[in-house]
Structure 1
Amino acid sequence: MSYLNDVILGIIEGVTEFLPISSTGHLLLAQHWIGQRSDTYNIVIQAGAILAVTLIYWKRITDLLLGWNDPENRDYLIKLTVAFLITAVLGLVVKKLGFELPETIQPVAWALVIGGIWMIVAERAAERLPDSAKITMTVAVAVGIAQIVAGVFPGTSRSGTTIFVAMLLGTSNRAAATEFAFLVGIPTMYAASAYEILKTLTSDTGVSEDWTALGIAFVVSTITAFVSVKWLLTYIQSNRFTAFAIYRIVFGGLLLALLGMGVLA
């Protein structure tokens, strides 16, 4: 039964990591009933979803790396690096400050609702801008900061925050903004996973970590994320993000109502 719970958590992570509905928020909610998992567990199964995106974007990644002599590729890589470094530095600052994810549902529920409303407003504002797939340095810096903001406030959604920040600041093309947000997430999540694994292995907590359970959740997360992202990249070609925003508002509102009635604590 324990490993079935890990399969469930892997599915939740894989489906929600790149849809703009907050994987961290959904995992926190699921673990409220299934049982709390370690920070290492949560971050490493997110890396499973990142592995899926790495496979999906493998050709794009190799073209960028092997095409360093191309000015356009070089410019794109520099901006990806800037966004990643900003996230890495701010992430270490947040860690040093001792920030901990909330263990209660209420802040996640509010973040889901507020984030859903913000997504609707942001997309309408972005649609008034001329269509552009260009990634500016301003967008790169803002996306780097947005990744940390999403990490500090579970329920906001890393993918949703970064995509809409990019769209509002000039990369109004949904596909281009999504690609940049996803590509920045690859080194970010791999670095976070490596940091957590190293910390776990060099401390006493590594002994108590159930690596089999973590491995199961990792594999399930990878598979479901691959399917989820493939679907999303097709969906956004001709659809807005409105459906995800409505889901967030309804789901967050339901959680707040259940909290108000005392059904949830």
Structure 2
Amino acid sequence: MTDLLAALLLGIIEGLTEFLPISSTGHLLIAQHWLGARSDFFNIVIQAGAILSVTLVFRQRIWELATGWRNPQHRDYTFKLIVAFLVTALVGLPVRLAGWELPDSVTPIAWALIIGGVWMLVAEHFAEKRGDQPLVTWKVAVLVGLAQVVAGVFPGTSRSAAAIFMAMLAGTSRRFSATEFVFLVGIPTMFAASGYAFLELVKDGAVGSEDWGAVAVAFAAAVATGFVVVKWLLGYIKQHRFTGFALYRIVFGALLLLLMPAGS
């Protein structure tokens, strides 16, 4: 397989999995076992492509919030986004500074996929019992921020899955409302995390020996794929549950435990 084709596939995988509740980190780590390991810079760039895609999807909503400051509902919603972001930053930054690194072996990723799938089934069941509660509360904002930190510590958890289902359990039972809030708060969160990681690489002199053609192909693939996937998901969850994604995680995680050597 050529390097450009491998880069294209990795970009597509990032775009497919970054915002679906199935863990992009887990899928990329597993894919790179076969397609070849990539530099941290490469992974940061394709993640930035996925973030750009969701920014484009929500461009009208972002503009509405940015220009509607005098509207009490818009102002309240924006403050809750800021609170969720700050909780993630204030809790997550010390973890990062402490030197925590994601494990890259298959076994913990597989278990995180399985446990996360079960958590999704249970969380959605109890959230639906609460009735139709579309509003994002301050409690939801804080817990979404904490959920993003948990997902960053345990690969295979999925940031979107952890945060969406935390929001649903904490009070925002409507799937679309929870997903929109999580995706919007994910934009500054992930841009900040990617920017911080990039600055670390520059400081360490780890940028400069990249295959820029492969990086560009992967970035473009992540943007295009992510845009299509997010648009599709937002329409899908208006009529369907997350059950299919939960079952996929459980089956995929079980297959990894059965087929991949322990610790590989």
Q: Tell me the TM-score normalized by structure 2.
A: 0.96
Distance 1:263 1:196 in 2: 29
Distance 2:43 2:103 in 1: 14
Q: 2:143 is matched with which residue?
A: 142
**1:46 matched to 2:47:** yes
Q: 1:16 is matched with which residue?
A: 17
RMSD, matched Cα = 1.4
Question: What whole-Å deviation, never above 9, does each CA across 1:200-243 have from its counterpart, x for those lacking one?
Answer: 23332113344432222111100000011111111101100000
**1:117 matched to 2:118:** yes
TM-superposed deviation, 1:263 = 9.0
- Give the residue type in structure 1 aligned to 2:176: A
Q: 2:26 is matched with which residue?
A: 25
Residue ranges of structure 2 left out of the alignment (5+ in a row): none
Q: 1:217 is matched with which residue?
A: 218
- Give the residue type in structure 1 aligned to 2:78: L
Question: What whole-Å deviation, never above 9, does each CA across 1:70-129 have from its counterpart, x for those lacking one?
Answer: 111111000100111111222211111111111210000000011001100100000101
Distance 2:41 2:87 in 1: 22
TM-superposed deviation, 1:195 = 1.6
Q: Structure 2 matches for 1:170-209, cutoff 5 A? A: 170-209=171-210
- Give the residue type in structure 2 aligned to 1:215: A
Structure 1 residues 72 and 11, CA, compared in 2 at 3 Å: closer, same or farther?
Answer: same
TM-superposed deviation, 1:171 = 0.2
TM-superposed deviation, 1:264 = 8.3
SS of the aligned residue for 1:208 comes to coil
Decide whether the 8 Å contact of 1:43 with 1:189 is kept in 2.
no
Distance 1:79 1:38 in 2: 35
Q: 2:8 is matched with which residue?
A: 7
Q: Moved runs in structure 1, 4+ residues, more than 4 A?
A: none
Distance 1:44 1:91 in 2: 21
TM-superposed deviation, 1:43 = 2.7
Question: What whole-Å deviation, never above 9, does each CA across 1:47-75 have from its counterpart, x for those lacking one?
Answer: 21111111111110000010001111111
Question: What whole-Å deviation, never above 9, does each CA across 1:112-171 have from its counterpart, x for those lacking one?
Answer: 011001100100000101211111111101111111111111111111111000000000
Residue ranges of structure 1 left out of the alignment (5+ in a row): none
How many residues are paired up?
A: 263
Decide whether the 8 Å contact of 1:258 with 1:264 is kept in 2.
no
Range 83-92 or range 126-135, more displaced:
83-92
Decide whether the 8 Å contact of 2:107 with 2:263 is kept in 1.
no
- Give the residue type in structure 2 aligned to 1:103: D
Q: 1:34 is matched with which residue?
A: 35
Q: 1:242 is matched with which residue?
A: 243
SS of the aligned residue for 2:37 comes to coil
Q: Tell me the TM-score normalized by structure 1.
A: 0.95
Structure 1 residues 4 and 128, CA, compared in 2 at 3 Å: closer, same or farther?
Answer: same
Range 160-169 or range 194-203, more displaced:
194-203
Distance 1:103 1:78 in 2: 36
Q: Structure 2 matches for 1:22-171, cutoff 5 A? A: 22-171=23-172
